[in-house]
């Protein structure tokens, strides 16, 4: 791959491997994720999706392999990468004793948003994800769909270049799943790159490209049309 092609990638991984003792969670994974696209990880529980995402965003050190994310070598540059990425977990990772507004303010602190920028970004996120009526409500009392919207607002508050989503729709109903995916395509239109893991085939088919994982091994990769042939 030449330099021009590499510059078009948000993520490039070669030989990515993670062992937990005698268990190989991810085995020799090669990955190319283009910028401004939705790239899906499809596979059952235990296939290595979450472990791979945690390595790519610098939260977990690989046993072997090379990772470049947004031109940063990982894990070496993991700290510098933090301000450029968002990460939304399966359980949403909200502070359930805090209100919706307090959760957003806390995330603004985590991302060290300057005062003027947070004054702009928090109201924008509240409006975009329909949270205005929920601002004083504790996160722990929200429905699954409301928690999902809050988690997406929090993980995109700093307008990341790259968004990692680890099975973000597993705890919500079909209607909220559809609305969530519409939000993702809005982010793509703004230039965000999204890597999302799922075990739903209908969601994988909405991605621009898919990697199918099984027992930590890349089984197949390509566009939904290519993999359907």
CATH code at 39?
Answer: 3.40.50.300
Question: Is residue 125 one of the residues assigned to a domain?
Answer: no
Structural domains in the chain (count):
1
pLDDT digits (tens, 9 = 90+) for 168-219: 988 788 898 999 999 999 999 999 999 999 988 999 999 999 999 999 999 9
Question: Is residue 188 one of the residues assigned to a domain?
Answer: yes
Section 126-145 average pLDDT:
96
The yes-or-no verdict on residue 124 having pLDDT over 60 is: yes
Residue numbers of the domain that contains 20: 3-92+160-228
pLDDT at position 58: 93
Task: Categorise residue 8: left if φ over 0, alpha if ψ from -120 to 50, beta otherwise.
Answer: alpha
**Peptide bond preceding 192 in cis form (omega within 30 of 0):** no
pLDDT at position 7: 74
Angle (CA) 179-182-185 rounded to 5° is 155
**What band does 1 get if pLDDT is binned at 50, 70 and 90?**
very low
Strands 193-198 and 38-42: parallel
pTM over 0.85: yes
- For the chain, what percent of residues have pLDDT higher than 90? 86
Section 82-93 average pLDDT:
89
């Amino acid at each position: 791959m030449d330099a021009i092609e590499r510059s078009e990638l948000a993520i490039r991984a070669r030989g990515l491997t993670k062992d937990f003792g005698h268990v190989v969670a991810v085995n020799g994974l090669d990955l190319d994720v283009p910028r401004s696209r939705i790239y899906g990880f499809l596979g059952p529980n235990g296939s290595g999706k979450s472990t791979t995402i945690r390595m790519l965003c610098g939260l977990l050190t690989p046993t072997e392999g090379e990772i470049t994310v947004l031109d940063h070598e990982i894990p070496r540059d993991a700290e510098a990468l933090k301000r450029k990425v968002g990460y939304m977990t399966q359980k949403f990772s909200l502070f359930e004793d805090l209100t919706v507004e307090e959760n957003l303010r806390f995330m603004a602190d985590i991302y060290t948003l300057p005062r003027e920028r947070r004054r702009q970004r928090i109201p924008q996120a509240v409006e975009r994800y329909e949270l205005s009526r929920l601002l004083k409500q504790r996160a722990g009392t929200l429905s699954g769909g409301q928690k999902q919207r809050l988690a997406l607002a929090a993980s995109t508050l700093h307008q990341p270049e790259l968004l990692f989503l680890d099975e973000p729709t597993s705890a919500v109903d079909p209607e909220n799943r559809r609305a969530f995916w519409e939000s993702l395509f809005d982010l793509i239109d703004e230039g965000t790159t999204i890597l999302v893991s799922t075990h739903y085939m209908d969601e994988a088919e909405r991605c621009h490209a898919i990697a199918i994982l099984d027992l930590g091994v890349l089984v197949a990769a390509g566009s939904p049309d290519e993999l359907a042939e």
